[in-house]
Amino acid sequence: MTGYVLRRLGAAVLVLWAAFTVSFAVLYLLPSDPVSIMLDGANPGGTVDPEQVAELSARYGFDRPPLEQYVVLLGRALTGDLGVSVTSGAPVSQLLADAFPQTLALTSFALGIALLLGGAIAAVSSWSRSTRLRGALLALPPLGVSMPTFWIGLLLLQLFSFRLPLFPAVGNQGFGSLVLPAVTLAIPLSAVIAQVLARSMRTAWDAPYVETALAKGASRGRVQWRHVTRNAALPALTLLGIAVGNLLAGAVVVETVFSRAGFGGLVEKAVRAQDIPVVQGVVVVGALVFVVVNLVVDLAYPALDPRIARTPATA
């Protein structure tokens, strides 16, 4: 068991390091002059002052060999220092810390909705013996997947904010402002969850252990809850680790549609201004979230499936 945890942790650290290294290579080493990009971004169309260029190069260490730059930046990142924003001069870690809670609230709420909605569709469709209900429910996921996020967002705004003034259209004030963006973000994910879960639940219903349970006199509801759901959750769990990455990407779009402060706004501004330290900070934090979620998934696996980490330990 400890070996399993250590291997997973090692892999997580490796992914983080790779994300940092690749983003460094892409942003700093590509054949373009980062300093002039920064100056141009901060002051579009302005004249370039050679003294300013030299000063900036020295400040960011661009006059050093790439390997040295890399080592210095990596060392700083390890202590939590991701540099300062070129445009605002504020520390990148501060900017990220301000934006992150908003996005975290949005994505985790969306994840919760997606799990409930997708799980319910899958469970009811596999439990029900009515082919009509089953067919209707299973038609929903392809619909959910095929609708673009921004369009769902605009539709929901139109319906529940303008026609029926139930929720605020924009902003970050209170729980009400969270509902529409979270639902928008949750719909495509819930569709994917429903699809995968419904399929694995159907497979589980055909398994011989389900017949054993029915032969004990268990009701269909009991079999669905006690036997099918837990076995079917395993493949869906892997999907969840991947889906969280998409959720972050989707949050950028949704936050723009609903004009919410958060990662989305930060990324949009930083990219437009070619604010390299901020962009790299966002990439590293995104990788961190991804790694943490997948670590949690990997560690949840042995708890859900006794066949995984137990075998080497007890054999």
Buried b (16+ CB within 10 A) or exposed e, 114-153: bbebbbebbbebbbeeeeeebeebbebbeebeeeebeebb
CB of 315 to another protein, least distance (A): 4
Cβ atoms of 37 and 87 within 8 Å: the answer is no
3-class DSSP assignment, residue 293? helix
Shortest gap between Cβ of 211 and another protein (angstroms)?
6
Nearest distance, CB of residue 2 and another protein, angstroms: 13
Separation of alpha carbons 122 and 120, rounded Å: 5
Straight-line distance from the first to the last Cα atom of the chain, in angstroms, rounded to the nearest whole number: 12
Look up tokens 């949050």; give the residue.
Answer: 251
Minimum CB distance to another protein smaller for 20 or for 205: 205
Tokens linked to 299: 């560690």
Of 192 and 228, CB closest to another protein: 228
Please say which residue, 63 or 211, places its beta carbon nearer to another protein: 211
- CB of 164 or CB of 315, closer to another protein: 315
Return the residue matching tokens 């030299």. Answer: 54
Q: Tell the smallest beta-carbon distance from residue 82 to another protein (Å).
A: 41
- The least CB distance from residue 304 to another protein, in Å, is 7
Cα torsion 285, 286, 287, 291: sign: positive
| Signed CA dihedral, 63, 66, 72, 74: sign only | positive
- Backbone phi, psi, residue 83, to 5°: 90, -170
**Residue 265 C-beta: closest distance to another protein, Å:** 43
Q: Which is nearer to another protein, 2 or 311 (CB)?
A: 311
**Contact positions toward another protein, by CB under 8 A?**
207-209, 211-220, 222, 226-227, 230-231, 304-307, 310-315
Closer by beta carbon to another protein, 272 or else 310: 310
